[in-house]
Chain A
Amino acid sequence: MSAMPQNLRIPVIVVAVVLGVLAAGSLFIVSETEQVVITQWGRPVGEPITRAGLHFKLPIIQKANFFEKRVLKWDGSPNQIPTRDKKYIWVDTTARWRIKDPLLFLQRVGNVSTALSRLDGIIDSVVRDHVSNNYLGELVRSEGWKRARESLIEAGLDDYQIILGEEGEADSEGLVALKKGREKITREMVADASRLLPEFGIELLDIRIKRINYVQSVQQRVFERMISERKRIAAQYRSEGEGERAAILGQMERDLARIQSEAYRTAEEIRGKADAQATRIYAETFGKNPEFYQFYQTLDFYKRYENPRGLFVLGTDAELFRYLQEREPEGVNP
């Protein structure tokens, strides 16, 4: 450089600067996350560039328009929508979308924030339509709901069975077979919204219901319902407890009566048999000489008599006197 003649210095510098400007205007870098549409005086030329790397364009007359290549997120603002069964709920939805056709996108929409506001209008109205056309149960439950009750029973949770049992199948909340369910409804939402989106060069990948919540006033009522349900379950348990206790105590009384009476019966039978046997034994023996037996028993009575204060009245014809008078007793059977 230092060897450069003096008079050439300025032009060289000018050329270098111009070349630099041209290079900067004709080279551009496309990142992995971007796609580019080149426009010439505002009209798109050629295919969109989706491959990352260093690319060329004509400086000044061509312009590189960068667009996001990645999947983008759309986040709806929560909406208060009545369902088909007139329950007011907050529905918060989210969606994923991408710029499928950057050319179209450039022509119809231009940039992401405009796209988002378009999506706002389209998705919100689609969501509103579908929510108000479906029952709340359909929005909350999804495929496989039928299994829910079985798994509840399998888990041994019989609390709620009390309520279900009371109300049966056709309860007010419609715990019945599902017609669509959440996934199917959201798939329908995507289909409906997608029909309006190709003209923007946008592809809608999904719409998801992020949150469903009752509005404040309804929530209060739901809480009240939950409380009353629980109270009913509690009452049921208490009365079951009372009932079972009564049943056990009743059984106890019954068993007691049976055990005691059986014992009494058996005892009486045993005694009776023994008495009968004893009677037979006595009869067999005493029957041999009843008269003597009577005599013997009478004497036995006297022998056993134990009462020092008793007063005995004897007739003069008592046997005793006969003996005392040395007389022969009569009527002795041989």
Chain B
Amino acid sequence: MDWERPPHRGQGPGVPPDLEQVINRLRQRFSFPSMKGGAFWIVALVVLVLVVGANAYYTVDPQETAVVLRFGRFVRTEGPGLHFKIPFGVETVTKVLTGRVLQREYGYRTVAPGVRSRFVEEGFEEEARMLSGDLNVVDLQWTVQYKIRDPMEYLFRLHDVESTLDDISESVMRRIVGNRFADEVLTVGRASIAEMARQEIQEIMDMYHTGLQIVTVKLQNANPPDPVKAAFNEVNEARQEKERMINEAQQAYNERIPKARGEARQTVTQAEGYATQRINRAIGETTRFRSILDEYEKAPDVTRRRMYLEAMTEFAAKAGNFLVLDSGGAGVLPILDLNQVVRQWAEAGSVPGKAGE
């Protein structure tokens, strides 16, 4: 039992060795034959020099600038490399990352940067959500890239520069978005919003002497809030549908009209063809008739008979049956086989009353 144990006495393992013993031991260790009583002080001095030395230099990385204060007052800045300072808190060194472009993210955070960075949006909706000028709601994600241009201003003029940058960034972005229609913010306005934001944030940061230089402001995503997205997409679909309808109608127009024009030309051309044909035939026929008429007028009787019979010959060859009726009275005459008669004429090669030419 613990409380029955006798109190611990004597040299335990945890008791520090007596100081005098240590000094004696040191003395023995460092007591060279040449050394006398002053040897101890020499050793002490060496230790002191080492401590001072360790405290009197510092190194600055390439992307850093060192700001040196002597008794709290700024004395100099130093670039990369090895530098010396007065030790024991007389000069203190603060290193500031001046060479690197730093980044703040709003409305989302990068969790695993890389070639294909992963982002988290959950939990940052409040940062992203803002009101547009038409009092609609948009979700905007953006980044601000900045550099520390002036490490002294950065350190001495404003307390907590980064969180101020966050405040100003959010405030400025909301002011700009609040001055535009949601439609513009979500579509074509992004580049101009980003540039405007960069200028405004820079102005305010300069006003407060934060020593920051805003390199770029980039708008990552600008979306309508989730519940509204579908409706926005519907508008896009409707717009495409409209285009499609117009295109289809235009296509129908383009298919039908040229065809109709072609057909129209065909109709006219056909008419012209008909006209040419009609007139030519008329000229042809009349010329022929005139020739015949000339001949006829020379010997009307004979010619007339010849023509008549020639025609009849041809006709009888083609026509079917004849029925001859006595025009004097009613009733049917015995049928005369005219075919026969005419055929006989044809075979004889002579037509009664044919003009000898």
Contacts and interface: CB of A to CB of B under 8 A. Distances in A.
Given A244-B245, A245-B246, A32 B73 contact: yes
Interface stretch (B15-23, B78-86, B157-165): B157-165
B50 interface: no
Interface string B229-247: 0111011011101111110
Interface in A314-334: 314-321, 323-324, 326, 328-329, 332, 334
Nearest to B246: A244
A76 B300 CA distance: 130
Interface in B169-208: 170-171, 174-175, 178-184, 187-189, 208
Contacts of A175: 134
Interface in B254-285: 256-257, 260-261, 263-265, 267-268, 270-272, 274-276, 278-279, 281-283, 285
A32 B155 contact: yes
Contacts of A54: 71-73
Nearest to A235: B238
B159 A288 contact: no
Interface stretch (A16-24, A148-156, A187-195, A196-204): A148-156
A326 B352 contact: yes
Interface string B289-328: 1101100110011001101111110110011111111111
Interface stretch (A6-14, A40-48, A124-132, A268-276): A268-276
A208 B167 contact: yes
Contacts of A226: 136-137, 182, 224, 228, 231
B184 A151 contact: yes
A101 interface: no
B126 interface: yes
Contacts of B159: 33, 68, 70-73
A61 interface: no
B297 to A, nearest CB: 8
B257 A245 contact: no
A252 interface: yes
Contact of A29 (B72, B180, B187, B296): B72
B13 interface: no
A144 B179 contact: yes
A301 B282 CA distance: 17
B178 A140 contact: yes
Contacts of A151: 180, 184, 189
A70 B245 contact: no
A129 to B, nearest CB: 20
A32 B174 contact: no
Contact of B271 (A209, A266, A306, A315): A266
A65 interface: no
Interface residues of B, number: 124
Contacts, number: 374
B55 interface: no
A222 B241 CA distance: 27
A240 B242 contact: yes
A309 B319 CA distance: 7
B250 interface: yes
B74 interface: yes
Contacts of A277: 275, 278-279, 282
Contacts of B327: 315-318
Given A152-B183, A302-B312, A234 B321 contact: no
B71 A209 contact: no
A323 B352 contact: yes
B77 interface: no
Interface in A132-190: 136-137, 140-142, 144-145, 148-149, 151-152, 155-157, 159-160, 173, 175, 182-183
Ranked 9 nearest A-B pairs via Cβ: A274-B275, A263-B264, A241-B242, A267-B271, A315-B327, A278-B282, A230-B231, A234-B238, A248-B249
Interface of B: 37-38, 41, 69-74, 126, 129-137, 152, 155-160, 163-164, 167-168, 170-171, 174-175, 178-184, 187-189, 208, 224-225, 227-228, 230-232, 234-235, 237-239, 241-246, 248-250, 252-253, 256-257, 260-261, 263-265, 267-268, 270-272, 274-276, 278-279, 281-283, 285-286, 289-290, 292-293, 296-297, 300-301, 304-305, 307-312, 314-315, 318-328, 333, 338, 341, 352-353
Given A173-B135, A316-B325, A329-B304, 8 more contacts: A33-B155, A141-B179, A238-B242, A263-B263, A289-B293, A289-B296, A296-B307, A323-B353
